[in-house]
C-alpha cells in the first residue's frame, strides 16, 4: 500500500481545517506523504470538485489514496465511502463527488464506511473530513483491506454528467469548467472531433458559443492575436475556449453550463 495521500477540499487555507486533516492522518500513519491537489474548490461545489479530481488523479502513481472532501451534507444521512478502482483508492462523501471516477473505472468497488473504531473517538457532526475521512485514509496506508471498513454498496450517488450530443450538422456540448484564467473548458473531447470530422480536417470547424462564432482551432494560445477569441484542444484533450491575454469568461459574460455548438465548415 502506498503512503501517498492527495487532498482535495473546499476548505481554503485561512482556517485550521487542512492542518487538522493532515495532523489526524499523521497520528495514524506517521509515514504518510501528502500532495495538495487544491483546497480552493468553490464552497460546496461538488461538480467542480468532481471535475478537478478527474483532471488530476490519473497523474499519480498506482496505489495513491485520494482524499476528497466537499461535503455540504456533513452530519446528515449521506454516507462516507471508500472507492476502489484498478489503480487507486478514494475516500470521501457519497454525494456524487466521485462520479467521473465511476465513469472511468474498469474495475470498481464502493464500500460504505461503518466501522467506527477507525474514526477518531467521539467524532463531531460538522467535520467528518478530520474525524472520519482522514483517519480512514491513514489506516488505508497501513494496508487495512477496504472491506474491513464496511460493506460493499451499489447504490452510490452519481451526478448527472453532461454528455456530448450529435446533431444533423455537428456536435452540441457544454462548458463544464472555467479555470482561473477565464478559459472555458468544455466536455467536447478530441476524440469527439475526430469521430465527427473526416481525417485531416479536425481544424475545419465552426464553434458557436454565447452568440459568438470561432472559425478553426488554434494549436496554442499565442497563435491568437491579443484579445482574439479562440479555441483549441488543451493538454487534457478538452475543447477549450480562450481569449489570448484576456479573460474569456469576463469578456463574454458566460458561465458554466453554457451550450457550445461545433459545426463543420461544409455544414
Q: Report how far Cα 257 is from the mean position of its chain's Cα atoms.
A: 15
Say what percent of the chain tops pLDDT 70. Answer: 96
**Model pTM greater than 0.85?**
yes
Question: Does residue 157 lie in a domain region?
Answer: no
CATH code of 141's domain: 3.40.50.10790
pLDDT at residue number 201 = 56
State how many domains the chain has.
2
Residue 103 sits in the same domain as residue 207: no
Long-range CB contact pairs, 99-102, < 8 A, 24+: 99/50, 99/157, 99/158, 99/159, 99/161, 100/50, 100/51, 100/53, 100/54, 100/161, 101/53, 101/54, 101/57, 102/156, 102/158
Q: Are residues 200 and 247 in the same domain?
A: yes
Per-residue model confidence as pLDDT tens digits over 168-215:
888 999 999 999 999 999 999 999 988 877 655 555 799 999 999 999
149, 176, 208 — which closes off a domain? Answer: 149
pLDDT at 195: 82
Instruction: Inform me whether the pLDDT recorded for 15 exceeds 60.
Output: yes
Tell which of 99, 124, 149 closes a domain: 149
* Residues of the domain holding 45: 4-149
What's the CATH number where 212 sits?
A: 2.40.30.90
Amino acid at each position: 500500500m502506498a503512503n501517498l495521500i492527495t487532498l482535495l477540499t473546499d476548505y481554503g487555507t485561512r482556517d485550521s481545517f487542512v492542518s487538522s486533516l493532515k495532523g489526524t492522518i499523521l497520528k495514524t500513519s506517521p509515514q504518510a506523504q501528502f500532495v495538495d491537489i487544491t483546497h480552493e474548490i468553490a464552497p460546496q461545489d461538488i461538480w467542480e470538485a468532481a471535475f478537478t479530481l478527474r483532471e488530476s488523479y490519473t497523474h499519480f502513481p498506482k496505489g495513491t489514496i485520494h482524499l476528497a472532501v466537499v461535503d455540504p451534507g456533513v452530519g446528515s444521512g449521506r454516507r462516507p465511502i471508500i472507492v476502489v478502482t484498478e489503480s487507486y483508492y478514494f475516500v470521501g462523501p457519497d454525494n456524487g463527488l466521485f462520479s467521473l471516477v465511476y465513469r472511468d473505472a474498469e474495475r470498481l468497488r464502493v464500500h460504505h464506511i461503518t466501522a467506527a473504531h477507525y474514526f477518531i473517538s467521539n467524532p463531531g457532526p460538522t467535520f467528518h473530513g478530520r474525524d472520519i475521512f482522514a483517519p480512514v485514509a491513514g489506516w488505508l496506508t497501513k494496508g487495512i483491506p477496504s472491506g474491513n471498513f464496511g460493506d460493499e454498496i451499489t447504490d452510490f450517488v452519481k451526478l448527472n454528467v453532461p454528455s456530448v450530443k450529435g446533431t444533423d450538422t455537428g456536435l452540441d456540448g457544454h462548458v463544464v469548467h472555467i479555470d482561473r484564467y477565464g478559459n472555458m473548458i468544455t466536455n467536447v473531447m478530441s476524440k469527439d472531433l475526430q469521430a465527427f470530422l473526416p481525417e485531416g480536417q479536425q481544424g475545419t470547424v465552426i464553434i458557436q458559443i454565447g452568440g459568438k462564432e470561432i472559425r478553426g482551432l488554434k494549436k496554442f494560445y499565442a497563435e491568437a492575436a491579443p484579445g482574439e477569441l479562440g479555441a483549441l484542444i488543451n493538454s487534457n484533450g478538452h475543447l477549450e475556449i480562450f481569449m489570448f491575454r484576456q479573460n474569456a469568461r469576463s469578456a463574454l459574460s458566460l458561465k458554466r453550463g453554457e451550450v457550445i455548438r461545433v459545426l463543420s465548415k461544409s455544414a
